């Protein structure tokens, strides 16, 4: 099927690995098939996957241009209803078997996955599922060339510690968007640390985990004050941010 999409949603469609893991997760879902919500449906591609499994799909998109594309793309699917609304303003009246919500970004800082799911989860049946199911975040010490927060889209940096998992979330749990943790990172090289690299792994379901992809959580590079380190040193760092409040909410300091 050919999809009409905004340029951003077209880039999402072009990332084949991203689309494949989302497709696989929906394909492997094998519980109730009455109702699914597709929150932030974009071009409507995931609603298209859902339409053959569910009696009814309700697809909600905040962006008007994307909504118009989804509406057109899904016109022939009588069991899919596309709605132009902020999920947080939508008047949910029924509980669903499945919520699909791909408003992910690295460590969930910049996008609204957590506020949206904290709100919409009330409209999930007791045994309902969420796709993606959760995330795992890791961190490394790095030397960055650029001294501002940026995503790893071909950026140059040198890694100076092992990769350490520092948090993980299951979206079925209630999640406090205000996140703060203390990291103890062991240098695996001599060098000049001036940043952290955060990598997010997406848990699509119990059996499927996606690493960072160009359009699904590319690693995030965050500046730190400069510090000379030697191999086997332990470096203690505090990191805090508010999930859903943007990358400006990230604060880091040495402890």
Q: Which residues bind ligand SAM (CB under 6 A)?
A: 9, 12, 40-43, 45-46, 60-63, 66, 86-88, 102-103, 112, 116
All residues at 6 or more sequence positions from 46 whose CB lies less than 8 Å from its CB, including other chains: 22, 26, 38, 100, 102
Nearer Cβ to ligand SAM (6/188): 6
Nearest to 200 by CA among 183, 219, 172: 219
Nearer Cβ to ligand SAM (87/239): 87
Smallest separation, CB 142 to ligand SAM (Å): 26
Smallest separation, CB 88 to ligand SAM (Å): 5
Nearer Cβ to ligand SAM (71/140): 71
Q: Which residue is at the shortest CB distance from ligand SAM?
A: 40
Smallest separation, CB 12 to ligand SAM (Å): 4
Smallest separation, CB 36 to ligand SAM (Å): 12
Smallest separation, CB 23 to ligand SAM (Å): 10
Smallest separation, CB 63 to ligand SAM (Å): 4
Smallest separation, CB 24 to ligand SAM (Å): 14
Nearer Cβ to ligand SAM (112/152): 112
Nearer Cβ to ligand SAM (9/203): 9
Nearer Cβ to ligand SAM (31/86): 86
Nearer Cβ to ligand SAM (87/142): 87
Distance CA 59, CA 121 (A): 15
Nearest to 66 by CA among 82, 88, 89: 82
């Amino acid at each position: 099927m050919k999809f009409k999409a905004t340029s951003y949603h077209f880039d999402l469609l072009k990332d084949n690995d991203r689309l494949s893991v989302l497709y696989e997760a929906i394909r492997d879902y094998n519980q109730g098939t009455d109702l699914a919500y597709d929150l932030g449906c974009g071009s409507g591609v995931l609603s298209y996957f859902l339409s053959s499994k569910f009696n009814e799909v309700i697809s909600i998109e905040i962006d008007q241009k994307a909504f118009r594309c989804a509406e057109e793309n899904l016109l022939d699917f009588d069991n899919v209803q596309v709605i132009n609304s902020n999920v947080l303003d939508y008047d949910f009246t029924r509980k669903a078997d499945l919520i699909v919500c791909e408003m992910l970004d690295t460590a969930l800082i910049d996008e609204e996955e957590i506020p949206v799911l904290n709100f919409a989860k009330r409209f999930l049946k007791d045994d309902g599922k969420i796709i993606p199911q959760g995330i795992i975040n890791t961190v490394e010490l790095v030397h960055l060339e650029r001294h501002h927060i940026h995503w790893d889209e071909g950026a140059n940096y040198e890694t100076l510690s092992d990769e350490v998992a520092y948090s993980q979330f299951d979206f079925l749990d209630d999640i406090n968007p205000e996140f703060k943790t203390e990291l103890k990172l062991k240098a695996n090289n001599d060098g000049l640390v001036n940043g952290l690299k955060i990598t997010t792994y997406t848990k699509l379901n119990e059996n499927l985990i996606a690493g960072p992809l160009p359009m699904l959580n590319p690693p995030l590079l965050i500046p730190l004050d400069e510090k000379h380190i030697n191999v086997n040193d332990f470096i203690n760092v505090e990191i805090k941010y508010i999930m859903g409040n943007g990358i400006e909410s990230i604060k880091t300091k040495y402890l």
